[in-house]
Amino acid sequence: MLALKYEIYKPKAVQAEVKPSVRFNLRTSKDPEHEGCYLSLGHSQPLEDCGFNMTAKTFFIIHGWTMSGIFENWLHKLVSALHTRERDANVVVVNWLPLAHQLYTDAVNNTRAVGRSIARMLDWLQEKDEFSLGNVHLIGYSLGAHVAGYAGNFVKGTVGRITGLDPAGPMFEGADIHKRLSPDDADFVDVLHTYTRSFGLSIGIQMPVGHIDIYPNGGDFQPGCGLNDVLGTIGYGTITEVVKCEHERAVHLFVDSLVNQDKPSFAFQCTDSNRFKKGICLSCRKNRCNSIGYNAKKMRNKRNSKMYLKTRAGMPFRVYHYQMKIHVFSYKNMRDIEPTFYVTLYGTNADSQTLPLEIVEQIEQNATNTFLVYTEEDLGDLLKIQLTWEGTSQSWYSLWKELRSYLSQPRNPRQELHIRRIRVKSGETQRKLTFCAEDPENTSISPGRELWFHKCRDGWRMKNETSPTVKLP
């Protein structure tokens, strides 16, 4: 695993050269891959020669630990995307490659010094007329996120915003707030977590470290990053490439928010990933939902706010979330049964593919069971729903029980659920609709059968929550 590789990695010998360990490279929109101009602390002439705009937004891009000693491709894409979105902005790449191209433990120990160097540059810029620290946005990837935290901690004043793109986990998980990125480091700190694991194998940090911490797809197992997906994309696949894909996904989600602003992705506040998978957390009341990436809205919370969403495998990453509440008013012979349900949604714009209902907990009788489904395209207003019970999957223990039951009683009892209505809520629009069984006299469903639900008469009245709702573009 990449997380363990830092213990044995040996960097190439670095020849002595008269260069500062941290360099500030002002990139232009004309050629985002060109080195551009280098800013030097205490020297004002390069600011004029390079066209540094004192009144514009200023972005500092901070890379992380490196095994190659060179910039990765994502950096140039991020530079280009920032210039596309904010044409007058200053985009500065913080080059600390000599200090990052070390053993991981040594690179971690260098983050504090790099953060202090950035703070000194910001302090010097503040001496210039019209430069405002509130216009500064530090964007740090992996180790670079914690570098940004140090910079925000050391600078005289308060940085406007820090975005942490999957901040590094090893040697930072559980650390004191002064030794990692934290909400105290800027006026607004937002974080994307895309590679979190357990048992010390997490490349990205698991704990919340910002005002809002967003966990796309639960913060792990990103769509399109499986070994087979990587193999199909680049022609070869290794565990390292899978790790890189998931860890780097945070960067591409941020780039997506810059270049596809007409297709923003929304995240929803939830206590944990399991509750989100159950479809419980699709509310926008009291700032419980937010855009992700560059479009995230400033939230000043006394405590960290954890948010979740699903995404596609590639740009644009946006999907459409639906909460489905299915009221089961009776069932038969459901003991030790794990049903497999699918739904198909039919809308005014399009119809969905057949979507699985992930059953997190056992289905309860005389209770409302909640599920989360999502589609990759905007279906418009929903018109009807098809619910299909494909069959059952059982444990060896339950199969043995069924075999014993069959030997004692040849007729296998039929499993059956009775469902009268399904309530649906759209996460993106916050609209609520109720769908009733097509035939009120036939509300039972069993393995191999399906039920159709149409919009109830009172379902035409869309019940919107009183809080401001998310508007689709």
Give residue 23's pLDDT: 96
Q: Is residue 469 part of a domain?
A: no
Q: Is 351 annotated as a binding residue?
A: no
Residues identified as active-site: 142, 166, 247
Where residue 331 sits, what CATH number does that domain have? 2.60.60.20
468 inside domain: no
What's the CA gap between 469 and 168, in Å, rounded? 34
pLDDT at 58 over 50: yes
Kindly report the pTM of this predicted structure: 0.87
- Is 94 contained in some domain? yes
Distance, in Å, from the CA atom of 147 to the CA atom of 155, rounded to the nearest integer, reads 12
Instruction: Take residue 106 and report the two structure tokens written for it.
Output: 């040594």
- Same domain flag for 297 and 354: no
β-pairing, 339-347 vs 382-392, is: antiparallel
> Is residue 180 marked as binding?
yes
Q: Can you read off the two tokens belonging to residue 130?
A: 């019209």
Domain count, the chain: 2
**280, part of any domain:** yes
Encoded amino acid at 388, one letter: T
Confidence of residue 198 (pLDDT cuts 50, 70, 90): low
Q: What are phi and psi of 308, to 5 degrees?
A: -135, 155
The answer, yes or no, to whether residue 234 has pLDDT greater than 70, is no
Q: Where are the alpha helices (DSSP H) in 35-142?
A: 45-49, 73-85, 97-100, 104-126
State the residue range of the domain holding 64: 2-309
Across residues 333-338, what is the average pLDDT? 62
Q: What is the pLDDT of residues 385-397, one digit of tens each?
A: 999 998 654 444 4
> Residue 143: in which H helix or E strand, if any?
helix 143-154
pLDDT of residue 17 exceeding 50, the answer is no
Asked, for residue 314, whether it belongs to a domain, the answer is no
In percent, how much of the chain has pLDDT > 70?
81
Predicted confidence (pLDDT) at residue 166 exceeds the cutoff of 90: yes
Residue 5 pLDDT class (50, 70, 90 cuts):
very low
Q: Is residue 164 part of a domain?
A: yes
Residue 464's identity, in one-letter code, is N
pLDDT score, position 35: 74
Residue 467 lies in a domain: no
Which pLDDT band holds residue 405 (cuts at 50, 70, 90)?
low
Tokens 């070869």 -> residue = 236
Kindly tell me if the per-residue pLDDT of 463 is higher than 50: no
Residue with token string 């018109």: 383
pLDDT tier at 154, thresholds 50, 70, 90: very high
